[in-house]
Structure 1
Amino acid sequence: MTSLLLALCNLEINAHQRVFLSDWEQSTLNFQASNNASYTTVNNPSQDAVNSSSQVGKFVSTAYQWDFLSLNLSEEIDFENYPVYKLKVRTSAVGTIMMKFEDGPSGSYVARYATPSNTNQWEELTFDFSGIANGNYGKMIITFDYTSTTAGVEWYLDDFVKAKQNVDTTRPTQPQSLSVTKTSSKSVSLQWNASSDNVGVIGYVIYKNNTEVGRSNTTSFEVSQLNANSNYTFTVSAYDLVGNESGKSNTVNATTQNMGNGNFITSVSLQKTSMNLYDDLEVDIQLNARYSDPYNPNNIKTDMVLITPSGKELVVPCFYYSGVSRNSLWKGRFTPQETGQYQLVVDVEKTQNSQRSGVYTFTVNNSYNDGFLHTNEASFYNLKFDSDRKFRGIGENFAWEARLDLGDDQTFTYDYFFQQMKSKNANFIRTWMCPWNLPLEWKKTDFGRYTDGNETYNLSAIARMDWMLDQASQNGIYIMLTLDYHGALLEEPDYWGGNNYWWDHNYYSGNGGPISDHKAFFTNESAKQLYKNRLRYIIARWGYHTNIGAIELFNEVDNLIRDENFNANDIEAWHNEMSTYLKSIDPYNHIVTTSITGAEINNMFHQPNLDLIQSHPYGPVEGVISAIQTLTDRYNKPYVAGEFADDWVAPTSQTMADYQKSFHRGLWTALFQPTPILPMTWWWEDFTYEGFNDELTSVSAYSDIMLNAMNDQEQTLTITGNDNIDKMGVKAGDKLFVYFYNKSTTTRSPNMTISGVDNELYYVTSFNTTTGIMQNEASVLGSNRQLVIGLQNLQAGKDIAYIIQKGSYYLSQSNQRKQFLEQADQLKIYPNPSTGIINLEKPEDYHHLTIYTALGREVLSVDLDSAREKISLSDQEKGVYLLKFFDVNGNATVKKVLLNK
């Protein structure tokens, strides 16, 4: 492919800004047409101002979907200097074109899309690969019949060029005529005139008192969570694709309304007034308010407003539970993230009036609970709980329970599968909301498990969701909750002959919804408001639950572009708007993500409120590793392989061994990459039947050791040696974790060199990746900041992991700690609760004690010389105290004492 990369025609213009690759006159690339499609050079059928060339390329499609031209490549693609590809086209039928570079590093590919705006006239399309790293790719593919199977569509092509990225420094014009259109006691609605830009305005930034409070891709926005009877100033700016921001609009002032003198609240009842940190509080709110739709916050909105012990104000959405207009029960659910005394009021807001309840108080005591999961900005190897404890997700997809009408194995329910995962020491699953599983927003359900209904939100789905989260809590399983999947918006059957659920969708006008065109889902204001209502209901009813580990807006949303020509910009803007809204109403700051198969949608993952990058890299394991490294570097965010397997086609008896090998290697190689959730297989039923879930047990055991060593300063190890051995490693805390895989066809015993170590004695413990058995191997002295590890008889297609540390073998250290913890049964602390004096009876190995308050402040540190000791806390305030006992090896265990005076 020398012609493409070195520009065969050597026609360079605009000081190397554009390089011609093919003009179908002086130069023509050796494209090959797929299937029975035809490709020739012909006379230009219509010369015009866009294209006056004499000769052009002509491609005619067949009835086969995804007809394409392919071009073999042989040299590195220079995306860094020439990221933009342009192609003039003329077509007899408008459809999306995909330009893809495939067979890249570790089997990866990159793709971009463009759609002509008219038929039978020339226009220039742009495919922008900015931000993609240079790489060697095997093929370029240009797919013309990307979203249809229409035969005989003619595509004329000309002036194929690659170009430098034009650095756009032009700022959009200032938004004009900013005005206030509506105020309430807690919100202000704004509207303004659109800005313009030389390339295009992407969205608007809304400022409250000179601080950004939100973004909008339309010319209106509601600023919420404001205080009643308060003054605010607002301005708006515009921004374009590359982030150029306009000057700010005119400033408007707004005063929120008083809470009003409504008489809606009959009673407010807190189910408890004292609770532990990260436990949940439920509040019953009885209303006599009139409403027409309790699920529409523009009709009636109920919130709890809390003042935390630190003085922070939280707004927690409440949800309609039961009853009718003038006599309804609402509930608020809340999980506290601070200790101390809280103040709580209930706000009810209607179109014409509002009311605030009296003040209620409750107290939160410290606990050993961990709280909610969040991304860890300091290290992409793990997530962190509110408690600061680290977490690494290990598990599988469980997208849905058994579909009764399809004859699925009815064993596969949430309780069964959660118990399966728990028994393998797994802790994470990914599950869907869709027409046949947790169909919250589907009146017509599928496959028999759920009941159809006319309610706004499906009652059988609500009940199952409540139950499912309870099961997750009992089994220690954290959930990535996927709110939608691409099939919900498709009109035509897909590859599998189904998944075209648009005609059953609640938003479809034929079912009483606001839109007839499925593509308007992402742009229509009424449709977007319905979706926001749904997000609000989810946060109000289930947001309190700490086992919701992440919220995924869409499964494989890029399939909508591929299959039915949805607009990428619309999808990108929708994700920005919905993720921003979700963050604005979620007091717990849940992790938010969305997923693609692999084809990125513009720069969507740059959006600030999408916390995780997620794609689904089926195929060689190397593709998973490439995705982790490439996308993490590109977006500076953690990446998760939300689905993966040897293939996206179900395994058979002939291929099952390949799937197990892929499963094993995918988990183990990802352990040594900066991903906080290990790749999750899609084939949960097959793998359960075959016993493959046992792979999770050994991975989890090794991961726990690694996780306990992590200190947010993880480093990738440099390991050299035999090229037939894949090698990777991570330094975590004071330990080195390394992994080797023999990819050759013969047994090998090479030496491997780890660089960047200290010139000290290291102890090497092996870890069998299949059985989880550890064995002390050798002590090795570092020299010249290198450590040489000898692999002994590593069989073809097999792998091994090691734990390497100074001072002692990890296995010996592990046994010491096990013995230390077993002695904890001999430890006696009394009286407990105590009024000031604590008596201790302890094992001989417990030689030191440090005492902390529940908030972590050290109050006493003392050596323990006798089997019986007396400790005084008489000078301390009442409350919970943590007693941390140590042995001479640094092992520690913690006990809790309650001090009452």
Structure 2
Amino acid sequence: MKHIILIICLCLISSCAQTNSSTTTPTLSSDVFNKSAIAQNETITLNTYVVANWQSPYQSADIAVDLTIVTPSKQQLTLPGYYVSGQSGELSHWQFKFTPAEVGTYTVKVLINNNNMLQHGKTEQFTVSQSTLKGFLRSNDKWSFQYDNGQLFRGLGENFGWEKRDNDDSKFFKELHEKPRFNYDYMLKSLSEDGANIFRTWMIFWNLPVDFQHVDNNARYENTNERFNPSGIKRMNELLDIASKYDMKMILSLDSHAAFSGQGWNFNSYNTKNGGPAETVAEFFTSDEAKQRYKDKLRFMVAKWGYSSQIAAWEFFNEIDNVMYNGEHQHISDDIIVAWHKEMSEYLAIIDAHNHLITTSISHREVDGLFDLPSIDINQSHLYKVTNDIPEIISKFEKAHDAPYFVGEFSAEWDWSQNFDLIQEEMISDYKQGLWFGMFSPSPIMPLSWWWEYFDEKGTSAYFNHVKTINDLMLSTGNKALAAQSVNNSNAQLTTLALTNGKKAFVYVNNPSDTAQNFTLNNLPSLSHLDKIYDCESGEFIKVKHTGDYTLAAKQNWVIIYNL
């Protein structure tokens, strides 16, 4: 991505901050305001220099440096700035990163809140010209997202939860999991080549530990006394560069249950033993000091990386229900968790000038009220050993909460102590089946599999290209929103799902049995207008004589496409 550097010189000078004496008016100067135009959806970096007093530049109660923005459509935005260098009471360096989505004239100025003393900078303007860049992903409907340029998007990918650890805990695949190739550089390139367009990853004390002073089990990272971990920041910067290179969208899980349970709490920066404000995990969600610290974390995340359209969604928690329970004993109430998510999602929606999607996830226990919060854009749960039920489960969540939903993790097995090679055929067929079931269900992201090392080793990830072929057809050939299509199959042993994009009907037929099955389709007006038949396993369109009667081989599946 091309970056344009804007230099803004701003000085906030206080002759005597302790006595709240007057300060000079902040000034702005930059050649950028004399440029004819900046390209739409290209990131610009603005530098500002401030003299102010603080105990910590990462505590917004001490110092908050923001950019106020009025867009061409007159929308008013506030973009947090992030601290780069300098000392309290001396000249300090701050930056803003902004990716303008609209064409036209933007009006901006710096706003500084230093210990409740407000200072406004001079108003400046710059102009943005139209470009061919797609922009950010936005909510569209329950089947798809939409880029700023109007292009539809459905997520196809998998989890890549973390880069390889120094000492993996897998009973049977420790050697595989510790192979150096399992890093963002290799995996994002491989997934992109295999046809994927999205992945989900964690921030945790062994991976992207931006909010952890104490790290573990990954030599890439170092312990620190800094509020935010420099080694985690460095890798996060690199990750966004890699994701941009391969145009891979990311669901970024900001926290995981793993840092709030068992030994994980010992690494948590919010733990009082590590200088944090919470004596217990429950206090993380209820303490005003802990919540303010978390909001300052969100400010930093948005200021530092919110510019990136590669971030599809911020995810507050991986499996928040596993934080709430010790085994089957619930020690943190639903009300506390819902109240925390409401407060944080509303705050994040206000400070994120780029308006990324927001999600959070549960494992298998529902949290009453969580999936009905207006500022949670897309709901998410994790499904193991129930892949055949995915269409029914997606439909249930979509109807119960009237909001988009996706399966954030799935597989034939969740237990990492099992030898997957003993069920290899089931693991691989389940991986493939989940993708098709998700495609033909109302979800903007197809189910994301777990166990990335295993499926990469088996070559299963290449199957994404098979699914991509139909996904691209669905999104590129229609003139209406995707919608479920009613169709009947004469053979009850076959699974049949269908949808339409206004111009074509797509019918998915799966034969899970050990024998070939004959079938006919009916109750679809366009049955006489066969376009083509796609063999899901071979990834090829096949020639089948169209008589209305079909024979589908054992363990095979087709997508039959009709013109409307």
Determine if the alignment matches structure 1 residue 641 to structure 2 residue 407.
yes
Does residue 470 of structure 1 match 2:233? no
1:791 equivalent in alignment to 2:550? yes
Cα–Cα, structure 1 residues 344 and 691, in superposed 2: closer, same or farther, change >3 Å? same
Note if contact 1:764-1:776 (Cα within 8 Å) is conserved in structure 2.
Answer: no
What are the superposed Cα offsets for residues 231-273 of structure 1, whole Å, 9 maximum, x if unpaired?
A: xxxxxxxxxxxxxxxxxxxxxxxxxxxx995348576557684
Deviation at 1:588, TM superposition (A): 1.9
Q: Which residue of 1 aligns with 2:344?
A: 578
Change (3 A) 1:443 1:268: farther
Check if 1:654 corresponds to 2:422.
yes
In structure 1, what is the Cα distance between the partners aligned to 2:392 and 2:21?
58
Task: Give the greater-gyration-radius structure (CA).
Answer: 1
- TM-score scaled by structure 1? 0.57
Please state which structure has a larger fraction of its residues in helix: 2
SS of equivalent to 2:516: coil
**Count of aligned residue pairs for this structure pair:** 527
User: Which residue matches 2:196?
Assistant: 426
* Structure 2 counterpart of 1:159: none
Task: Give the alignment partner of residue 488 of structure 1, picking from 259, 273, 286.
Answer: 259
Structure 2 CA distance for aligned equivalents of residues 659 and 386 of structure 1: 37
Residue in 1 that maps onto 2:438: 670
Q: Is the 8 A contact 2:109 2:123 kept in 1?
A: yes
**2:394 aligns to what SS in structure 1?**
helix
- Quote how far apart the aligned CAs of 1:413 are: 1.1
CA contact (8 A) 1:397 1:682 kept: yes
Q: How far did 1:561 drift?
A: 2.5
Deviation at 1:352, TM superposition (A): 4.8
- TM-superposed CA distance for 1:315, in Å, is 1.1
Equivalent residues of 2:215, 2:223 under 8 A apart? yes
Measured in 1, the distance between the counterparts of 2:38 and 2:123 equals: 18
Structure 2 distance, partners of 1:660, 1:302, is 50
Cα distance in 1, alignment partners of residues 43 and 511 from structure 2: 50
Using the TM superposition, give the Cα deviation of residue 361 of structure 1 relative to its aligned residue in structure 2, in angstroms.
2.1
1:614 and 1:640 in contact (8 A); partners too: yes
Q: For residues 116 and 510 of structure 2, what CA distance do their matches in structure 1 show?
A: 69
Offset of residue 475 of structure 1? 0.1
Does 1:595 pair with 2:375? no
SS at match of 1:663: helix
The reply on whether 1:609 has 2:362 as its aligned counterpart is no
Match of 1:773 in 2: 540
Q: Is residue 320 from structure 1 mapped to residue 83 from structure 2 by the alignment?
A: yes
Give the Å deviation of 1:359: 2.4
- Residue 721 of structure 1, CA deviation: 1.2
1:533: how far off?
0.5
Describe the shift of the 1:713–1:512 C-alpha distance in structure 2 as closer, same or farther (beyond 3 A).
closer
What is the 5 A alignment of 1:111-510? 261-263=22-24, 265=26, 269=30, 273=35, 274-325=37-88, 326-376=90-140, 379-406=141-168, 408-447=178-217, 448-490=219-261, 492=262, 500-510=263-273
What is the distance in 1 between the residues matched to 2:156 and 2:482? Answer: 21
Structure 1 distance, partners of 2:357, 2:501, is 25
State how far apart, in whole Å, the 2-side matches of 1:266 and 1:445 are: 41
Give the SS at the match of 1:750: strand
Secondary structure of residue in 2 paired with 1:642: strand
Q: Counterparts of 2:29 and 2:205 in 1: how far apart (Å)? A: 36
Task: Provide structure 2 residue ranges, at least 5 long, that are not aligned to the other structure.
Answer: 1-19, 169-174
Q: Which amino acid aligns with 2:43?
A: D
Structure with more contact order per residue of length (Cα contacts < 8 Å, sep ≥ 6): 2
* Cα distance between partner residues in 1 of 2:494 and 2:293: 54
User: Aligned equivalents of 2:150 and 2:349: distance in 1?
Assistant: 21
Equivalent position of 2:172 in the other structure: none
Alpha-carbon distance between aligned partners in 2 of 1:525 and 1:271, rounded to the nearest angstrom: 41
More strand by share: 1
Q: Within 2, Cα distance between the matches of 1:352 and 1:604?
A: 34
Instruction: Quote how far apart the aligned CAs of 1:747 are.
Output: 1.2
* Separation (CA, whole Å) in 1 of partners of 2:50 and 2:31: 15
Task: Provide, for residues 50-84 of structure 1, a one-character-per-residue CA deviation record: whole Å limited to 9, x for no partner.
Answer: xxxxxxxxxxxxxxxxxxxxxxxxxxxxxxxxxxx
SS in structure 1 at match of 2:54: coil
Secondary structure in 1 aligned to 2:126? Answer: strand
Q: Report the AA paired with residue 385 of structure 1.
A: Y
Out of 458, 463, 484, which is 1:715 matched to? 484
CA contact (8 A) 1:260 1:353 kept: no
User: Is 2:27–2:122's contact at 8 Å kept on the other side of the alignment?
Assistant: no
Counterpart-to-counterpart distance in 2, 1:414 and 1:526:
35
For the residue of structure 1 that corresponds to 2:313, the secondary structure is strand
Amino acid at match of 1:456: R
Deviations 1:364-392 (A, max 9, x none): 1101111111121xx31111111111001
1:566 is aligned, of 316, 319, 332, to: 332
Contact 1:433 1:440 in 2 (8 A): yes
Identify the residue that residue 156 of structure 1 maps to in structure 2.
Answer: none
Code of the residue aligned with 2:443 in structure 1: it is T
Q: Is the 8 A contact 2:537 2:557 kept in 1?
A: no
* Residue aligning to 1:537: 300
* Distance in 2 between residues matched to 1:485 and 1:527, nearest whole Å: 17
Post-superposition offset of 1:640: 0.6
In 2 relative to 1, CA 732–778 (structure 1 residues): closer, same or farther, beyond 3 Å?
farther
1:160-214 per-residue CA deviation (whole Å, 9 max, x = no partner) reads xxxxxxxxxxxxxxxxxxxxxxxxxxxxxxxxxxxxxxxxxxxxxxxxxxxxxxx
Tell me: CA distance 1:639–1:270, structure 2 relative to 1, closer, same or farther (3 Å). farther
Q: Deviations over 1:108-144 (max 9, x none)?
A: xxxxxxxxxxxxxxxxxxxxxxxxxxxxxxxxxxxxx
CA contact (8 A) 1:440 1:457 kept: yes
* TM-score of the two chains, using structure 2 as the length reference: 0.90
Superposed displacement of residue 353, structure 1: 2.4
C-alpha contact (below 8 Å) 1:267/1:287 kept by paired residues: no
Aligned-pair Cα RMSD in Å: 1.9
Aligned counterpart in structure 2 of residue 699 of structure 1, from 439, 444, 467 = 467
CA deviation profile, 1:520-547 (whole Å, cap 9, x unmatched): 1111100000001101111111111111
1:632 equivalent in alignment to 2:398: yes
